[in-house]
Structures are given as C-alpha cells and as structure tokens.
Structure 1
Amino acid sequence: MKSVDQVVREIEAGKFEPIYVLIGPEKFYHDQIIHLLSQKMFSDQGSRDLNEVVLYGTENTLAEVLSQATSYPMLAAKKLIIVREFEKMKIQDAEIFTKYVNKPAKFSVLILSVSEAPRNKVFQTLSKLPGAVDCRPVSESRMPQWLMQYSKGLGYPMAPDAAHFLIANVGPSILALKNELEKLINFKGEPSEITIEDVQNTSGMYREANIFALQNALSRRQLAKSIEISHLLLESGIDETAVNAVLFAFFRKALIAATLRRQNVNPAQIKQKMHLYDFQLRDFMETLKFYNVEQLKNVVILLHRFDLAKKGIAPDSTKNLEILCYKICRI
C-alpha cells in the first residue's frame, strides 16, 4: 500500500487512480484525501454538485455503487464516487465487482473508505491496487515529526518545542491537533514560524499550569511548585492518566540518558543515540543534576504503579496527582 504522503503528492500533480481504497482507522487521512480529490477534480461547486456522489456501506448496495461508477459525468471530465464504511456493505456478487475492479471506468474515480479491512478475497484484491492507501494512525513517538511536517506544508513551520508542548497538552489526536493548528494560523496571519509562545497565547496553556510546567518542576525536584501546578491541573478537570503518560515518557527517557552518562557517553552522543532535539537534551541533562540512575528507576516504577492504579488494574497508595508529585520529589 502507498503512504498518505505519496498519494497526496500524486493527486497534487494531477495523477488520479480510478479506484482508491483508504484502509485504516485514521479518519483524518480519509477526509484529507477525499477533500483533495474533490478540490482537484472539480473547478467549481456546480460541477461538484453534479458529479460528486456519497454512498454508505450501511445504507447502499453494491449495485448502486457500480451503477454510479459506470454512469457518465455531467459537464466534467470525471465523476467522483465516495463510499464510506465500505467494509459494512454486503458484496453479494463478488465476481461482478471484481470485473469492475480489474477494468474500472476511465471517467470515474471510486473511493472506498474502509476502517478495518475484512480478511477475504475481495479485500485482498483491493489492498493490492495502486490506489490502496495505508491510513493507520500515527504512532505517538512519530506524532511531533508529523505535526511539524504538516504545519510546514501549510507554510507555517513549527519549532520542535512548540510541537511537543502542543501534543503534551492536547493529546496525540490528529483531528484535535489540526483544530489547534488552525487557531494558530489565524493568530499568526502571515506565514512564519510557530513558537511555543504562540501556542501558549492561542490555546490558554500557560507556563503557570500545564503538563510541561509540571514536568519541569518535577525534573528539578521543586516540590511546592509541582504540587501547586498539579492542583491547578486537577481543578481544570485534566485526565490524570494523560498527565502520567507524559511524565512516564519523560522520566523513562531521562533514565536512558542517565544510564548512557554512567557509561561515559557524552551529551552529543546521547543526543544522536536517542534522536533528541536540542531542547530535549538540555532538559534531560538538567534532570540528571537532581536524579541519579537508581532514583530515576524508582520514579519510573512509581509512575507505572500510578498508571495501573488509575486504570483499576492494581491497588496503590498514591491516590492523586498531588501525592504522586510529593513522592517523586522525595525519592
């Protein structure tokens, strides 16, 4: 299957496949490709209204899909047929459908949107088409890179610390990040770099009370400040498990950095081995002034137990975020 970026480049260049099969649960990618095809195929709303058809696997039949795909466009070069939730459509005559797949109409572009492809011959065939697209979600580890690339593509490059800050506070949801990015672009006006200050000014995530501020306070053993920030976060209704996930990721990486330092690996090599940005390296090196390897191991264990307790998997004496902060700073 092709990547979303590869397919977007092809569509931007005016190359359209007769059949697209969008496979995966990330609906943002489905909507991105559908919107782009619609914009590229039709020059005005009138031709779009006449030649763009949306069908649903839960409501329409395969016969209706093929009927639309084989009917000629009106006052346009091609017709666009979008089938959402195609995996839920009953394919009663696989032979007829396979014939169309092998020889699709040249005047139609058929988009089959599939959250999860069933394991049958029809979908095995569809997944091998030139228009099959991998729409799996971006992993959390790759999310900052995705956000920076997406933002840059819109003409607004984003600083690495701004990307990490936004993800830590909004969460790893592409749709939520896209909405926040739209706010940032409206705030910036003319294309220019998006900084962490821009994110704070538009989102209300100020230094006084956000996950990054809590992370920084804990990494420097600032007990009073960390408890104050955690109290403000709890009052705002923040999900404690989401906060814990960010802290766990940070201290686990700090433990890796500390282990490498114990092995006499210098900071430049740590940056290279751990694929860090400059601001991340600075944060970890600062943390190592306050915690040694054994203490960081205990912090990671504490955060892991807190996560299990909050999810109801295992009991733990740490009842809330404020007590967690106290225990970390007192390790």
Structure 2
Amino acid sequence: MAKQELTCDDILKELRAKQYRPIYYLMGEEDYYIDLIADYIEENVLTDEEKEFNQTVMYGGDVDNIATVINAAKRYPMMAEHQVIIVKEAQAVRGMEELTYYLQKPLLSTILVLCHKHGVLDRRKKLAGEIEKAGGVVFESKKVREAQLPAFISSYLKRKGVDIEPKASQMVAEFVGTDLSRLTGELEKLVITLPKGLTRVTPEQVERNIGISKDYNNFELRAALVEKDVLKANRIVKYFEENPKGNPIQMTLSLLFSFFSNLMMAYYAPEKSEHGIAAFLDLKSPWQAREYLAAMRRYSGVKTLQIIGEIRTADAQSKGVENSSMSDGDILRELVFKILH
C-alpha cells in the first residue's frame, strides 16, 4: 500500500507539537503552503535569543553550491537544542543531488528547510528517497483548483472564528482567483473590517471592503446566463464596459469557459442530482451543483458545446486575432447574445 503523504496541516500539527524532522523539502507551484510551513519554522522553533546564533536564512541565488548548505547543516547549535537553516529559492542551488551524502547521517540537532518554488524534485531520483529514509519530509504544494476556492475560503475564515455566506465566498473566489497569497490577504482584510460583534461575512461587506459590486460581477453574470435573464445579463455587460479596470474581459471569459466546460462534463455524470454532480465534478459542496442542474434544464449538450466554441472565439478576439475594431465591451456583448439565443 502506498505511503500517505503528509499534508500542510499534518506538518504544522507536528511542528506545533514540537515534533521536528531533520529536513523539510518543500516544493511545488503554490507558494502559499511553502511559505506557511517555512515561516512557521522560522518564527516559532527557536526563541529570539536562540535565533541570534542558531538560525540561518540563505537564498539559493547567493549560495555557491549545496556544499555551502551541508557545511552549515553540520554545525552544532550554541546554547540551544536545535539550529535552523532555511534555504529560500532552493531551486537555484547547484548540485542538490549531493545532499544525499549528508542524509546518510544527518545531524539531528539541525532542522534544514529547503524551499523549492515553481517546480518539483524528481521523485524517481535518489534524493527524494534519501530524504524520507532519513526521517525527513518531501512536501508538494499543489495549485488549488477554482472549484476548491469556496471551500478554502470557508475553512480559512472558520479558523479565524468567522463564517461567510456562499454568495460572498463565490464573489471573493471569482474576483481574486487561485493566487492564495493574495486571496488570504483579502480575507484578512474582511476579518479586520468586520463590525464589532459580527462574525459573518456578507456580500455587502465584500462589496465595501474588496471593491466588488454585489450586483455587477462575474458571479451575477453567470447566474443571469443560467437563468437566461437577458435584461440582467446586459445590464452587467454595460457595467463591465463602463468599469473595465475592475472587470477585465480575460477574467470573465476564463470563468465562463470554466463553467460551461464543467457543464459539458456534467452531462456525463452517472447521477444527475446535486450530490451526483458535485461528486462527478469534484465540487466541495452539493449546493455548488445547483447552478449546473439549473443550466442543464436550459442548455442542451449541443448548445453547451457551441457556447464553448464561442467563448474561445471571443478570447481570440480580445487578444486581437481577426479583430480590428471591436472593443472588449462589444466582444462580451456579442458573446452574451450568442449564449442566450
């Protein structure tokens, strides 16, 4: 049976219990989780007095090769139980495979943290196996998919003792996107600006504090298209045209493409119910499937396929392909017309 990999929460739970590993190899496309673990180690393992002699932060671009890191790792701590070495931008360190020699007998008083961003260690090579054999952690920080964002938002705020209404969560997810560092910054802003005594984020609070209109946004445009509400859809398009900086067409097209692509997949779900669609599309909550079920009642599979093609055409036009005169507003207005008719 394959060994279950530790999650970010698993690693943080160990760290809070003061259970330390000799090496943490943190890698992947999502910076947020790498920074979360590395920052926790940097801020909490040693006291302020211990950090002066026992904590070293290096940057891969400034390190000649892995030998520099190994030499530092072999030092014993001074008047402390551990020393901490954090290597940021570890993907730039040359000769990383030579770390295997250190891992044959790592110094257990050293906590070595390697932050390898925008890429991963080849698990087929010897180094990954040696890290795990030495009792270390190889953690891959994966990008969060758009469908997972509402669950991430709810979970993050719950840890702060705050709830969020589903519409408000969707508004934030669609406005900010999958950049978790930026997303958590916006969520912190919502927590700080909540009126005293309130613990629930509403669409109105998102509108006031993040700058998203609760009535004119991609979430509402999608809802209007699902309901085939021509008047509402065109009002939103007009608002987007008048406020292009806050409503870039590329974001709108991306979200529409994602929705109608998922809708196309939903037709193949074995069970056409909220739970069935949610499971098939890997949605975190059945309520997210309601929109797909509503859209399936109004758009056939053939029409959905045509819509996906029209969105692709609009995307090309927005980038200047076969388009010499249409504005972004014109492109979106034409696309909405073709979706609704």
TM-score class, shorter: 0.7 to 0.9
**1:144–1:167: 8 Å Cα contact kept in structure 2?**
yes
What number of residue pairs does the alignment pair up? 324
Matches of 2:295 and 2:11 in 1, distance apart?
42
Give the RMSD, CA atoms, in angstroms: 3.3
Specify the code of the residue in structure 2 equivalent to 1:178.
Answer: T
Aligned to 1:147: 153
1:220 aligns with 2:230: no
1:134 aligns with 2:143: no
Aligned CA distance change for structure 1 residues 197 and 102 (closer, same or farther; 3 Å): farther
TM-superposed CA distance for 1:310, in Å, is 3.6
1:236 aligns with 2:232: no
Aligned to 2:54: 51
Matches of 1:252 and 1:53 in 2, distance apart?
48
- Among residues 13, 16, 23, which one is paired with 2:20 in the alignment? 16
1:182 aligns with 2:188: yes
Aligned to 1:328: 339
Aligned-pair identity (%): 24
Gap regions ≥5 residues in structure 2: none
Aligned CA distance change for structure 1 residues 65 and 280 (closer, same or farther; 3 Å): closer
Matches of 1:315 and 1:126 in 2, distance apart?
54
Aligned to 1:251: 260
TM-superposed CA distance for 1:83, in Å, is 0.8
Matches of 1:323 and 1:127 in 2, distance apart?
56
Aligned to 2:313: 305
1:36 aligns with 2:43: no
- Among residues 25, 28, 33, which one is paired with 2:29 in the alignment? 25
Aligned CA distance change for structure 1 residues 279 and 201 (closer, same or farther; 3 Å): farther
Matches of 2:210 and 2:238 in 1, distance apart?
20
Gap regions ≥5 residues in structure 1: none
- Among residues 66, 69, 79, which one is paired with 2:70 in the alignment? 66
Secondary structure of 1:14's partner?
Answer: coil
TM-superposed CA distance for 1:157, in Å, is 3.9
**2:54–2:83: 8 Å Cα contact kept in structure 1?**
yes
Write out aligned runs for 1:66-85 (5 A): 66-85=70-89
String of CA shifts for 1:202-226, please: whole Å, max 9, x gaps.
Answer: 2121223211122122223333432
Aligned to 1:199: 206
Matches of 1:133 and 1:207 in 2, distance apart?
38
**TM-score, structure 2 as length reference:** 0.80
**TM-score, structure 1 as length reference:** 0.82
String of CA shifts for 1:156-176, please: whole Å, max 9, x gaps.
Answer: 344444332211111111111
Specify the code of the residue in structure 2 equivalent to 1:7.
Answer: I
Secondary structure of 1:320's partner?
Answer: helix
Aligned to 1:6: 10
TM-superposed CA distance for 1:117, in Å, is 4.0
**1:305–1:316: 8 Å Cα contact kept in structure 2?**
no
1:156 aligns with 2:162: yes
TM-superposed CA distance for 1:111, in Å, is 0.5
Specify the code of the residue in structure 1 equivalent to 2:110.
Answer: S
Matches of 2:278 and 2:101 in 1, distance apart?
54
Aligned CA distance change for structure 1 residues 79 and 127 (closer, same or farther; 3 Å): closer
**1:215–1:247: 8 Å Cα contact kept in structure 2?**
yes
